[in-house]
């Protein structure tokens, strides 16, 4: 479980990048919702401790319990549907001793661990029908439980995460090309059906968000939050209005964005830190993603490589979705900005993932 590691192999750069971004997130959360700043700071300090502990645990040891990890994740997702807290028609949270816990956030990390094991075990057969079918069935169960909450945004992120790991595991380019040739026209067909309200698998509020994104002037009651977010980002200009400012024209101070400390924290960054602040956040996220990929290149085995690539995909794609929503490039959907948005479950889960990446870095392959 614990091994003798060399300090020179510890990727302090990654740890510092994460801590720096998280500290910036604490400041932004404090400006957006002062009452949540202490909780977020507590989440950061405990998260760093969790990261340090996990980074010292041999990931190969954890992979021995891969099927238990998978069953645990599925069990949590079932439990949240059966006994979760209902909030605005969605059951995504479990109440544990006065603390709210979102199982789908932890499930992302658990699935990275499980599929790192699964694809390494069947590395030579990853392009065969049994292995592909088995992986689709296993991820399908998880995706089905998440979308049943309902939580479409997390379902999409999880699907992208799985696809990224499958590709890095050695999926044939012929299969990738075939899937793209099929999926691209299918996407446009589905969008057409959704716009015409002929797609039964989407909820009415989800349809409303898509329509409000496409035609904001026709759906002002739904589009207002995303439009205000765009206005907030633009109003910050180069340097922003300053953290915690009392500017009466501020979108945040006027409460034109609901719960800005969560999904729309990037709008707060744009308004208060300006172009310089938002670019700083994007660069930090980019460097964290790239650092995970660099560590993956030196991993001792396929599982280590997939853990790192899985975390890179999770942080990278989730950041793209969050920033895309805040800037109006994507339909409104609830996804946190990694290490920046408020949320202890998301924060701790990400720190666990980074801890795993750091442990992979502590065990580089020998040349």
Residue 366 lies in a domain: no
Q: pLDDT tens across 193-232, in order?
A: 666 666 666 666 677 777 778 888 878 788 888 888 898 8
Nearest-angstrom CA–CA distance, 165 and 167: 5
Domain count across the chain: 1
Nearest-angstrom CA–CA distance, 14 and 255: 35
Residue 191 lies in a domain: no
What is the SS3 assignment for 309-338? Answer: HHHHHHHHHHHHHHHHHHCCCCCCCCCCCC
Residue 326 lies in a domain: yes
Nearest-angstrom CA–CA distance, 281 and 269: 9
Residues 342/37, Cβ–Cβ less than 8 Å: no
Residue 5 lies in a domain: no
Nearest-angstrom CA–CA distance, 103 and 83: 12
Q: Tell me, what's the pLDDT at 198?
A: 63
Cis before 154 (ω within 30): no
Residue 225 lies in a domain: yes
Q: Tell me, what's the pLDDT at 299?
A: 94
Q: Tell me, what's the pLDDT at 181?
A: 72
pLDDT along the chain (367 residues), means of 10: 81 96 95 90 96 95 95 93 72 74 92 96 91 94 89 88 92 78 71 65 70 80 86 89 78 75 91 94 97 95 96 96 92 89 93 97 84
Domain membership of residue 102 as a residue range:
22-171+203-361
175-176-181-183 Cα dihedral, nearest 10 degrees: 110
Residue 4 lies in a domain: no
Residue 180 lies in a domain: no
Residues 269/29, Cβ–Cβ less than 8 Å: no
Residue 327 lies in a domain: yes
32-33-39-42 Cα dihedral, nearest 10 degrees: 30
Angstrom distances, CA of residue 241 to CA of 186, 237, 323, 327:
44, 8, 20, 18
330-334-335-341 Cα dihedral, nearest 10 degrees: 120
């Amino acid at each position: 479980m614990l091994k003798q590691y060399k300090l020179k192999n510890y990727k302090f750069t990654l740890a510092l990048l994460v801590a720096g971004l998280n500290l910036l997130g604490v400041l932004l959360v404090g400006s957006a919702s002062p009452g949540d700043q202490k909780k977020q700071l507590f989440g950061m300090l405990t998260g760093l401790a969790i990261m340090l502990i996990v980074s010292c645990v041999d990931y190969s040891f954890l992979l021995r319990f891969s099927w238990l990890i998978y069953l645990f994740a599925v069990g949590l997702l079932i439990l949240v549907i059966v006994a979760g807290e209902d909030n605005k028609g969605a059951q995504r949270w479990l109440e544990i001793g006065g603390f709210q816990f979102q199982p789908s956030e932890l499930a992302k990390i658990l699935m990275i661990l499980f599929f790192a094991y699964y694809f390494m075990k069947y590395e030579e057969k990853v392009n065969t029908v049994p292995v592909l079918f088995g992986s689709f069935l296993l991820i399908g169960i998880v995706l089905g439980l998440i979308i049943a909450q309902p939580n479409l945004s997390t379902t999409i992120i999880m699907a992208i995460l799985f696809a990224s790991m499958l590709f890095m595991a050695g999926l044939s380019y012929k299969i990738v090309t075939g899937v793209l040739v099929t999926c691209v026209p299918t996407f446009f067909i589905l969008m057409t059906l959704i716009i015409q309200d002929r797609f039964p698998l989407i909820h009415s509020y989800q349809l409303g968000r898509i329509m409000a994104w496409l035609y904001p002037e026709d759906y002002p009651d739904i589009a207002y939050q995303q439009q205000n977010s765009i206005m907030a980002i633009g109003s910050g200009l180069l340097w922003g209005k300053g953290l915690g400012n009392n500017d009466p024209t501020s979108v945040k101070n006027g409460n034109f964005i609901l719960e800005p400390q969560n999904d729309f924290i990037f709008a707060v960054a744009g308004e208060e830190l300006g172009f310089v602040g938002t670019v700083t956040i994007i660069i930090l996220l980019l460097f964290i993603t790239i650092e995970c990929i660099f560590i993956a290149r030196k991993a001792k085995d396929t599982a280590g490589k997939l853990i790192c690539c899985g975390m890179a995909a999770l942080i990278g794609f989730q950041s793209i979705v969050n920033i895309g929503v805040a800037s109006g490039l994507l339909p409104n959907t609830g996804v946190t900005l990694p290490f920046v948005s408020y949320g202890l479950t998301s924060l701790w889960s990400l720190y666990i993932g980074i801890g795993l990446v750091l442990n992979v870095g502590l065990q580089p392959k020998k040349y």
